[in-house]
């Protein structure tokens, strides 16, 4: 494995590779190699190996789950917007972008508070930011019930929609995630 690898004195290298275990299964190994000698003429390498098969399988499972979640979010028939704790918009699915009349890039440049002059209560009066379900959720970290709000789109059309908000909490700490 290392006959083609030349390490200069003190150099470190890390690599991963698959091999067939004696039981016939495929395993992943991680190798850390270091040339500990200081004379370039002597080519000696100390290598440490560890089995990382479980980690690689967990990473692949996580990647597949993330891809499934991404596809589900994009396929939702309703708008979904992810908002950071500071009120900035992190992501909006395609339906949210269509409904709000703004691209994801445009939405990333605004905060929830920037919609204040563009929102209406059901009676037609202005809807203050403090009444938005997302604002209440950010303040209390509690799921907020559905609320009907009118949003003035860029072409001055009013879109009426039902908004709700739920916090993303870390399953272990129960604290809000970014």
Instruction: Output the pLDDT for position 4.
Output: 52
Residues of the chain with pLDDT under 50: 1-3
Which residue in 25, 45, 27 sits closest to 35, CA to CA?
45
Instruction: Output the pLDDT for position 9.
Output: 66
Using a 10 angstrom Cβ sphere, with 0-12 exposed, 13-18 middle and 19 or more buried, the burial of residue 73 is middle
Instruction: Output the pLDDT for position 50.
Output: 95
Contact 178, 119 (CB under 8 A): no
Contact 141, 169 (CB under 8 A): yes
Instruction: Output the pLDDT for position 170.
Output: 81
Distance CA 119, CA 88 (A): 17
Instruction: Output the pLDDT for position 43.
Output: 60
Distance CA 146, CA 152 (A): 19
Instruction: Output the pLDDT for position 71.
Output: 94
DSSP annotation of 170 reads -
Contact 59, 119 (CB under 8 A): no
DSSP annotation of 175 reads P
């Amino acid at each position: 494995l290392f006959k083609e690898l030349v390490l200069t004195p003190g150099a470190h290298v890390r690599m991963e590779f698959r091999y067939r275990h004696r039981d016939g299964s495929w395993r992943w190994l991680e190798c850390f190699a270091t040339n500990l000698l200081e004379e370039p003429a002597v080519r000696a390498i100390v290598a440490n190996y560890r089995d990382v098969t479980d980690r690689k399988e967990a990473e692949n499972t996580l990647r597949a789950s993330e891809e499934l979640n991404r596809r589900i979010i994009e396929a939702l028939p309703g708008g979904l917007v992810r908002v950071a704790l500071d009120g900035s918009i992190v992501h909006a699915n395609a339906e949210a972008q269509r409904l709000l009349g703004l691209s994801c890039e445009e939405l990333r440049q605004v905060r929830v508070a920037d919609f204040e002059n563009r929102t209406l209560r059901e009676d037609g009066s202005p809807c203050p930011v403090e009444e938005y379900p997302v604002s209440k959720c950010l303040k209390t970290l509690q799921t907020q019930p559905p609320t009907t709000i009118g949003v003035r789109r860029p072409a001055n059309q009013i879109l009426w929609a039902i908004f709700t908000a739920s916090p993303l909490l870390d399953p272990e700490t129960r604290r809000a995630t970014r």
